[in-house]
Structure 1
Amino acid sequence: MSAYLRNLEDRHYALVVLAASFMMLVIANGALFLLVVAMKDIAATFDWPRTIPSTAYSLQFIGGGLGGILMGWWLDKAGMGKPALLGSITVSGGSLMIAGIDEAWQLFAIYGLVIGLFGNAAMFSPLVANITRWFSRNRGMAVGLVTSGQSIAGFMWPPVFEYGLGTVGWRDTYLFYGAFGIAAMVPLSFLLRRPPPKAQPRSAAVEGSALDPDAPILHIRPHTLLALLCCAIVGCCIAMSLPLAHLKSHATDIGIAPMEAATILSVLLGGSFLARAFAAGLLMMKIGSLRTLFVFSALQAVTLGLMPMAEGLTAIYLLALVFGFGYGGIGPTYPVIIREYLSEQWAGRYTAIVIMFGTFGMAIGGWIGGLGFDMTGTYHAPFLLGVAFNVINLVIVAYLISATRRHHTGRLQAA
């Protein structure tokens, strides 16, 4: 089997890389959703306020974002195989360690350092940056399919974990998940050791622009564009993190049974899968990556604003599905924007930088939700605050779209 894979042409092996990357995201993101599902149980075990497990949720994103810079550099230097192996071991090993915690600092350290800094840091931005190097055609679809692994994780894991909590408790559920992660992800990481094909040569003008980090692109200098993307992703990630971290808890707080509440999260991530695997890539082919980002971000903002007013299981199911569709479509756009408008030479590092700011947004959103609940007793105010941050994202993206139009207009006038 290994000899057969080694002899595959690059265009065929690209599908192997895509499938392995997808599966690694499905499995690795279980550590995130296990904390979301077990948040109330862990807090109840130690009589903690909900801010404590929410902080662990946030630290995972902060650690993953900071570690992503190192992993992006490692990807550019050594390829995807070694970061993927490290991430497989640390995400799974950290989950095994969670089963034995007794203090809040242990929960913080494991999620922030082991699972975040050395685990999930290798599991999103490097995998996404790597897949852009394997596909020149249909790149948006490839990125969407890989990132949809997060959505499938959110669709698949919550009911499984809820069943585990109800039968063996949260500690043993962490043990079973960690053991499964080691057995499944380590072999997958070996499939990612093969280097991607060399990029197609560009024209001299384009190549010179790609290698000059200060060359103006779309009337926006590359470093300015990178900074704007970092600010934009913070806004949309604060908004998307609030329901991801707290919708299950919010649903049980308003009287919905725990298993049904877990399925709400599955519906949300099911909508996300549809957007990432199909809609986002197709829409980017039709209207471009920036406009696609604006459409899905606007959909996310509207549905998040309606969540505090939703009552009853059917209404929450519907909002969760549409919110998930909006949230899911956002994820694939940023790597494609980076790949289209910034230097390919530093794609791994640029992607890691933007994703790092996204993880900061996810961390802030999770923390805001827990703090807001502890202060007010509901999630209404945190959800509405998330809408305000989402609007900031829309303003920045609208500016970038207008800059693109000015650039295209200038080219037509010059012609």
Structure 2
Amino acid sequence: MQRETLPSIETAYSWWLAALTLLIASIGFGAATCVPILLKPLSREWGASTAALALAHTFMLVGAGFGGLVFGRMHDRFGFFPLAVIGALATASGLIAASFAQGIGDLHLAFGLLVGACGQGIFFSPLTAALSQWFDRHRPLAIASAATGQSAGGLLFPPLLRIAARDLGWRAALLGFGIVAGGVLLACALAFRRMPPAGAQQHRAVVVQEWASLTHRMRIGREPHALLMSLGACLGLFNVATFLVMGHITAAGEELGATPAAAAALLSVMLGASLVTRLGTAQWGLRLGRYRVLVAASVLHVAGLLWLSFSGSYAATAIGVALIGLGFGAYLPSYAVLARELFPVSQAGRRIAEIYFLGFVAAGAGTWVGGLLRDAAGDYGLAFRFAVFAGAAGLAALLAQWRALKTV
């Protein structure tokens, strides 16, 4: 049986959900980047070290990883609508609670548990899996659109939040963001009350057959689960490098002498650049092969890390983070698509959550290690060189999967 013998499950409502998914992911990731954007004002108020403050972002990312595992399984069982309501309330509550934080511990709890585990844990891998159930012929594009929300949120929110913090104070900025985010996310959640089309069950049988065919084509005696973990390790190494930069590039820009708004714009450059490649990844993967696109993106990513490690000016730094963003934009959705293709649709939420769990934990480690190295060296030079090492190791590990994935 071939996929073409079945009518497509895609409708206009599928694309409406894709647009709402982009908005949800944008707001969710905007909330997740609050701590990196506000590192300097937080440090000035509390006199805390960079590493201690970076732990709030680390706990958010690790919480998102664990939350993705739990809520990914819940999505497969209960659907996405109740999770979307929980995620909206948690994100809003976390931002509002953070605005009243009296110390670093309060910040860690608000971002780790509410914004991370219950917010980003729902609005990343479960959100991606939920949208994928509304698509068949354009599923890679749908997954890419869900991941594109990170880029859109990263392009929009950093300068707005940093300017608001400069003019109103960081507490008022977080409070206002939390109120607006909660209202918009709850409104978007209502669209997921409708269940995926019944035809998805027919396509599920087709995908199971295609899954068996794919694992047979590998002909290397490796289980898909082992291959998934290998891909997760590669994603983890790249995320250590990416989120080390993402978590500290605004503070690094201010240390270069840039204004707060200009320093925050570096993160917008990075995530704005990722928007370009993220939109094209699906089509490139269909034409060139998903694994080949992933390798090319990874090479570009490492090149950007190398450039950044030798940059000494704002302009050179902007070029480096743009290259990193281009690579990040292509590699992140590629891992989700590969994970989605290795397993049947009934396991979509769980498998995407598993590979992104490893990515989230590594991302949190990257942010924290970046803070430690900054405190130890007095600047970000050593931290950025460590990011080069992590990215190069990830590329080597990915190339080692050539035999298993060259036909994917």
Matching residue's letter, 1:141? L
Q: Deviations over 1:237-266 (max 9, x none)?
A: 101101111111111112222211111211
Query: Which SS does the other structure have where 2:175 is aligned?
Result: helix
Identical columns (%): 26
Matching residue's letter, 1:23? L
- Determine the structure 2 residue equivalent to 1:57: 57
Matching residue's letter, 1:121? G
Q: Does 1:71 align with 2:71?
A: yes
> In 2, Cα distance between the equivalents of 1:395 and 1:200?
39
- Determine the structure 2 residue equivalent to 1:314: 315
> In 2, Cα distance between the equivalents of 1:352 and 1:255?
40
Q: Does 1:222 align with 2:228?
A: no
Query: Which SS does the other structure have where 2:19 is aligned?
Result: helix
- Determine the structure 1 residue equivalent to 2:363: 362
> In 2, Cα distance between the equivalents of 1:395 and 1:128?
28
> In 1, Cα distance between the equivalents of 2:265 and 2:108?
27
Q: Does 1:37 align with 2:37?
A: yes
Change (3 A) 1:192 1:317: same
- The answer on whether the counterparts of 2:218 and 2:404 sit within 8 Å (CA) in structure 1 is no
- Determine the structure 2 residue equivalent to 1:283: 284
Q: Does 1:173 align with 2:139?
A: no
> In 2, Cα distance between the equivalents of 1:328 and 1:275?
5
- Determine the structure 2 residue equivalent to 1:389: 390
- The answer on whether the counterparts of 2:256 and 2:314 sit within 8 Å (CA) in structure 1 is no
Matching residue's letter, 2:347? W
- Determine the structure 1 residue equivalent to 2:374: 373
- Determine the structure 2 residue equivalent to 1:411: none
> In 2, Cα distance between the equivalents of 1:300 and 1:404?
20
> In 1, Cα distance between the equivalents of 2:56 and 2:204?
48
> In 2, Cα distance between the equivalents of 1:374 and 1:314?
24
How far apart are 1:318 and its partner, in Å? 1.9
Change (3 A) 1:89 1:342: same
Q: Deviations over 1:218-250 (max 9, x none)?
A: 522112112112211111110110111111111
Higher deviation after alignment, 385-394 or 71-80: 385-394
- Determine the structure 2 residue equivalent to 1:145: 145
How far apart are 1:289 and its partner, in Å? 1.6
| Runs of at least 5 residues in structure 1 that lack an aligned partner in the other structure | 1-8, 409-415
- The answer on whether the counterparts of 1:20 and 1:192 sit within 8 Å (CA) in structure 2 is no
How far apart are 1:199 and its partner, in Å? 2.9
Count of residues in Structure 1 that have an aligned counterpart in Structure 2? 398
Matching residue's letter, 1:314? A
- The answer on whether the counterparts of 1:218 and 1:404 sit within 8 Å (CA) in structure 2 is no
Change (3 A) 1:205 1:30: closer
Change (3 A) 1:73 1:262: same
- The answer on whether the counterparts of 1:159 and 1:263 sit within 8 Å (CA) in structure 2 is yes
> In 2, Cα distance between the equivalents of 1:159 and 1:23?
18
What does 1:194-343 align with in structure 2 at a 5 Å threshold? 194-197=194-197, 198-199=199-200, 201=202, 207=208, 210=211, 217-219=218-220, 220-277=222-279, 279-343=280-344
Higher deviation after alignment, 247-256 or 313-322: 313-322
- The answer on whether the counterparts of 2:32 and 2:120 sit within 8 Å (CA) in structure 1 is no
> In 1, Cα distance between the equivalents of 2:365 and 2:242?
11
> In 1, Cα distance between the equivalents of 2:237 and 2:139?
25
